[in-house]
Amino acid sequence: MSTPVTLTALLYGPDQTGLVARVAGWIFQRQGNILHADQHRDREAGIFFQRIEWEIAPGISANDEEKAFLEFSRNVIKMQARIADSIHRPRVALFVSKAGHCFHDLVLRWRAGDFPCEIVAVVSNHLELASVAQSYGLPFHHFPIFADTKVAGEAAQLALLNELGIELVVLARYMQVLSGDFLEKFGRPVINIHHSFLPAFAGGRPYHQAHARGVKLIGATAHYATRDLDEGPIIHQDVARVTHRHGVEDLVRKGRELEKMVLAQAVHWHLENRVLVYGNKTVVFD
Amino acid sequence: MSTPVTLTALLYGPDQTGLVARVAGWIFQRQGNILHADQHRDREAGIFFQRIEWEIAPGISANDEEKAFLEFSRNVIKMQARIADSIHRPRVALFVSKAGHCFHDLVLRWRAGDFPCEIVAVVSNHLELASVAQSYGLPFHHFPIFADTKVAGEAAQLALLNELGIELVVLARYMQVLSGDFLEKFGRPVINIHHSFLPAFAGGRPYHQAHARGVKLIGATAHYATRDLDEGPIIHQDVARVTHRHGVEDLVRKGRELEKMVLAQAVHWHLENRVLVYGNKTVVFD
Amino acid sequence: MSTPVTLTALLYGPDQTGLVARVAGWIFQRQGNILHADQHRDREAGIFFQRIEWEIAPGISANDEEKAFLEFSRNVIKMQARIADSIHRPRVALFVSKAGHCFHDLVLRWRAGDFPCEIVAVVSNHLELASVAQSYGLPFHHFPIFADTKVAGEAAQLALLNELGIELVVLARYMQVLSGDFLEKFGRPVINIHHSFLPAFAGGRPYHQAHARGVKLIGATAHYATRDLDEGPIIHQDVARVTHRHGVEDLVRKGRELEKMVLAQAVHWHLENRVLVYGNKTVVFD
Amino acid sequence: MSTPVTLTALLYGPDQTGLVARVAGWIFQRQGNILHADQHRDREAGIFFQRIEWEIAPGISANDEEKAFLEFSRNVIKMQARIADSIHRPRVALFVSKAGHCFHDLVLRWRAGDFPCEIVAVVSNHLELASVAQSYGLPFHHFPIFADTKVAGEAAQLALLNELGIELVVLARYMQVLSGDFLEKFGRPVINIHHSFLPAFAGGRPYHQAHARGVKLIGATAHYATRDLDEGPIIHQDVARVTHRHGVEDLVRKGRELEKMVLAQAVHWHLENRVLVYGNKTVVFD
């Protein structure tokens, strides 16, 4: 007997009486079995959010069920919906520059089975990580982009992402700003790790800024990349304690740990369809 | 127009297909509006758990609705259920001995509006906190219980709890073991704070034990009191870092902070009907 | 036999070879016994910092020894120094407005023996906390300061602080900006608690700002007040995790816990002479 | 001009007046320059502990200076001492079994320059990690030890460790108990990672134990291995929050993160000569 297929839907829209019952009723009626359902009401904004995960009846097509659910949510309950099934493993590209800590960490977790996805490409503006990518058996694509070649370079990157059917880009300390144009044309999520507790120390050299200000905690922030640098919806943040004993070098070293943990957690939640974006915020159903 | 009454139910029992839909359907049909619903499946044990909070239709009796829901859960879906409404504020007794930190903390939070309950009695085996209880306007009851007067003493305590209609006892560093007999006769929840990270350092003088072992973290554990001392279902735990610089006195001082925070959080969750006990564990819907 | 008197010195200045040995040698030669010594070198800036605590020989005057040490540090090793003895308990004024959580917390810790100081005055621009101050036996001073009476009001406050010999002001959620003029004339340390993780969300209504940005952690920062609001040297910071479930009200409630803990810790370190300010930063010898 | 050589000494012994001054004086007199000095008094036990790091005068032999210091501490101040210099990089063997998470983590940190040591051997009772060890260029030694071959197997391991001049063994989730005999004959430190918050859940399958007890935090503990399993001096511990949602598998997955962080930190402190063992405890000068 095969493992049952599960669907996960993320829904949101104007709050109405009976939403939980109607969604649960629709699933029940089609002989689905709800495994988890988590909902949230933003009372100030009058918005209802739900993540619901269910097993579909045996022998039924997951694709058909997904279409039916999207139709139900659009036409009957009038909610924005996104849906994913447990068969499909999203295709992911990692963007890196020179620093390898997040890259190694993500690949090792992926190989340990932590991430339900396929990492199919490593994209870089430098060559430092080419050989380790290859030692992991991952195709490495080099795009040495400079100010005057940015338009052409991004076009080439986009062509590659399209050709490979990439559904998620993870910026694993990719030290080059993606243009708003690139993000728009790609049209799919891009997760970035910023090496500070945003909104503190946005912009460049955040550990230097933190050291100069004499803060007692440093942070890292994983967020979706948007046209406005460092302003995208925050998925996850964490901090670590520092003291006067820590020079900038130490902040960088401690920060690497944070960056790895925070980025890995954000990617994990994203791949488990736990992150719902609305406006400039996220609802994380963890 | 009056604030709508909300009910909160905690349910558990053998897992069955369609439970979420059936509970949501029952509420919807009676024109209730679900505010929050959180469920959990223990797949190993095959048990389903749910916390569900909803507004009842205007003009309906909360009591009637509660009875109807309990009947539905018992007879139709065959689940264990507990229900509470937003009108009733449980009557609470604080048990204390000499140390005042948890006592002050709970009372100040209660006066700041953090705890939806009525603190109606302070019970102690010592006199140290009599005057501060009185300065808070709280009746203080002194039961100087010794080994040879324990049976009579506990009987007198029980009589007081019954007379006052106490629905929750909080042991705010009450340094005397309640007998299994007392707990059984009282028959309602008793929350205790143990000053270690259970199951490490159960029993007496846990900070001395922790210091002797040279641990690098100390802890505190809030749990429901049961016949087996320090073995009851854990509600909440937390830890704080210690170093070789901390003597036993420092552990005690740092521990006070932990005890306050951990006990207050456990009481808060209990009063918001977020804690479901099954076997010797809890499900905390936070 | 009496407890020996201990002195604690905080030193800093240009780094030179042999500083540890020279300070230790000076103390040893005068039959002092070093209990703790902690030093730090800021290699980038070429500055040496030290906190050193020692018992003076029996029968010697603490005052004379303090003067001798300050002379030694000024003239012989050319370091900036501050010194305190274990006999003197600094006189402290708490400034409050309407919110009582930090106020209660500080006073209860003080009464539990955690703070080696004398709290001798409560100063407020409101009347809300007058009766609780009195119930703790603390003199309450009301200065209802408005924009057009600020100069006169601050002058009256300064007169009181001078009259009472106040050595430390703690702003326990005092919701009024002290002018640079006031700080300069007072000339002694003023510790403030800001309800955000500075430098994020400086200025007013930080929890509203944090909620609007959708951060996943909120913070609190204790710092010395300076002429530039929210820019003074940071003593301590901490954060707590929040989610989409937390509205602004919840952030405020969670933030109160942080504010209490962070402010109490900062005051504690200050009173134990563990905080050395240089430039706009602190070295905390914890 | 060459970088100056630094020495780091760890000292302890009966407390006496003037120890800080005498040690600092000895160094000063030989034209050394103290970089850091950290000391601790265990007042209950009357023991003094110190870690002191200094640059020796240019042109002087580090070895001679080390010998002179050990003689001084033994004969003049009568303290137990251990000393290390900044030139020597200790030779380390990693012991592993099947799980690779700690192994990868340690090797990647080492390659990133975080650990001042030479990893010269990987020892395993299984073959699972042979190829990744080789891909890192690390010699892999397979000792398939069973109950009836333990004596011979450990003898062979010891012979290898001696031959390679191993100065530290790190048990990176090596799932076989080292005999007391082995530890004694090896005679050098062995760091182990236990996957629980000791002393809770000592022994086998700690995550299963933790899950059965319903704890709200899981932990990991790095300690020096001793004849008494799970009873050795604790170097570092940390915890992570778990809820009813986490099954045993999740605890294992979350635990892997903790194990990596806690073991890496302990190894780091050990290699920086920050850990002083006395009795069954450690003093960690961090």
Q: Respond yes or no on whether the N-terminal peptide bond of residue C199 is cis (omega within 30° of 0).
A: yes
- Best mutation target among D193, D197, D249, D278 (most B Cβ atoms within 10 Å) is D197
Helix (H) or strand (E) holding D209: helix D206-213
For chain D, give the percent of residues with pLDDT over 70. 99
A27: nearest CB among B21, B31, B40: B21
* pLDDT, tens only, B71-89: 999 999 999 999 999 999 9
Residue B91 CA to residue B115 CA, distance in Å, equals: 11
Query: Catalytic site residue A230?
Result: yes
Question: Which residues of chain A are modeled with pLDDT < 50?
Answer: 1
Residues 6+ apart with CB under 8 A from A281: A233, A234, C213, C214, C244
- Best mutation target among A104, A134, A246, A272 (most D Cβ atoms within 10 Å) is A104
D135 contacts A112? CB cut-off 8 A: no
Domain boundaries, given as residue ranges, for chain D: 6-85, 91-284
pLDDT (0 to 100) of residue A35: 87
- Best mutation target among B215, B223, B263, B282 (most D Cβ atoms within 10 Å) is B215
D37: nearest CB among C28, C33, C37: C37
Token pair, residue B130, equals 């009599």
Q: With contacts defined as CB-CB under 8 Å, which chain B residues touch C108? A: 101, 104
Of the candidates B116, B111, B115, B123, the one whose C-alpha atom is nearest the C-alpha of residue B162 is: B123
C43 contacts A247? CB cut-off 8 A: yes
* pLDDT, tens only, A108-143: 999 999 999 999 999 999 999 999 999 999 999 999
User: Residue B81 forms beta bridges with which residues?
Assistant: B11
Token pair, residue C133, equals 């101050």
Residue type, C128: E
**B44, A47 in Cβ contact below 8 A?**
no
pLDDT (0 to 100) of residue A286: 83
User: Residue A84 forms beta bridges with which residues?
Assistant: A8
pLDDT surpassing 60 at residue C135: yes
Topology given in CATH for the domain delimited by A91-284: Rossmann fold (3.40.50)
**C106, C99 in Cβ contact below 8 A?**
no
**A104, A34 in Cβ contact below 8 A?**
no
| DSSP string covering A246-272 | --HHHHHHHHHHHHHHHHHHHHHHHHT
**Distance of residue A222 Cα from the nearest chain C Cα, in angstroms:** 10
Compute CA distances B29 → B26, B73, B261, C251, whole Å.
5, 15, 41, 35
Catalytic residue from among C230, C238, C250, C286: C230
B119-123, B233-237, C250-254, D117-121: least confidently modelled range: C250-254
**Distance of residue C105 Cα from the nearest chain B Cα, in angstroms:** 9
What is the three-class DSSP state of B253?
Answer: helix
Residue type, D147: A
C217 contacts A244? CB cut-off 8 A: no
User: Residue B218 forms beta bridges with which residues?
Assistant: B240
* pLDDT, tens only, D14-33: 998 889 999 999 999 999 98
Residue C197 CA to residue C218 CA, distance in Å, equals: 7
**D214, B281 in Cβ contact below 8 A?**
yes
> What's the length of chain D?
286
pLDDT (0 to 100) of residue A147: 86
* pLDDT, tens only, B131-160: 999 999 999 999 998 889 999 999 999 999
**B171, B225 in Cβ contact below 8 A?**
yes
pLDDT (0 to 100) of residue D63: 95
Q: Are strands C33-42 and D168-171 parallel, antiparallel or unpaired?
A: unpaired
Residue of A nearest to D134 (CA): A135
Phi, psi of D157 (to 5 degrees): -60, -45
pTM metric for this prediction: 0.93
Q: With contacts defined as CB-CB under 8 Å, which chain B residues touch C104? A: 104, 108
| Chains in contact with chain D (at least 3 beta-carbon pairs closer than 8 A) | A, B, C
What is the three-class DSSP state of A101?
Answer: helix
A20 contacts B25? CB cut-off 8 A: no
pLDDT (0 to 100) of residue D2: 66
What value does the CA radius of gyration of chain C take, rounded to a whole number of Å? 21
The residue whose two tokens read 């939403």 is A19
How much is the mean pLDDT over chain D? 94
Residues 6+ apart with CB under 8 A from C3: none
Topology given in CATH for the domain delimited by A6-85: Alpha-Beta Plaits (3.30.70)
How many CB pairs (< 8 A) connect A and D? 15
Q: Are strands A140-142 and A168-171 parallel, antiparallel or unpaired?
A: unpaired
Token pair, residue A80, equals 């924005």
Residue of C nearest to B243 (CA): C286
**B123, B95 in Cβ contact below 8 A?**
yes
For chain B, give the percent of residues with pLDDT over 90. 80
| Residue D36 or B138, more confident | B138
Residue C39 CA to residue A78 CA, distance in Å, equals: 65
Mean pLDDT of B46-62: 93
B44 contacts D247? CB cut-off 8 A: yes
Strands (E), chain D: 6-14, 33-42, 47-55, 80-85, 91-96, 118-124, 140-142, 168-171, 190-194, 217-224, 234-241, 275-278, 281-284
pLDDT (0 to 100) of residue A176: 92
What is the three-class DSSP state of D225?
Answer: coil
**Distance of residue A268 Cα from the nearest chain D Cα, in angstroms:** 12
**A120, A110 in Cβ contact below 8 A?**
no
Residue A18 CA to residue A39 CA, distance in Å, equals: 12
Give the torsion through C-alpha atoms of C246, C248, C249, C254, to 10 deg.
Answer: 60
B25 contacts A17? CB cut-off 8 A: no
Mean pLDDT of B209-217: 92
**A216, C236 in Cβ contact below 8 A?**
yes
pLDDT (0 to 100) of residue C2: 66
Helix (H) or strand (E) holding D252: helix D248-271
* pLDDT, tens only, D181-240: 999 999 999 999 999 888 888 888 999 999 989 999 999 999 999 998 888 999 999 999
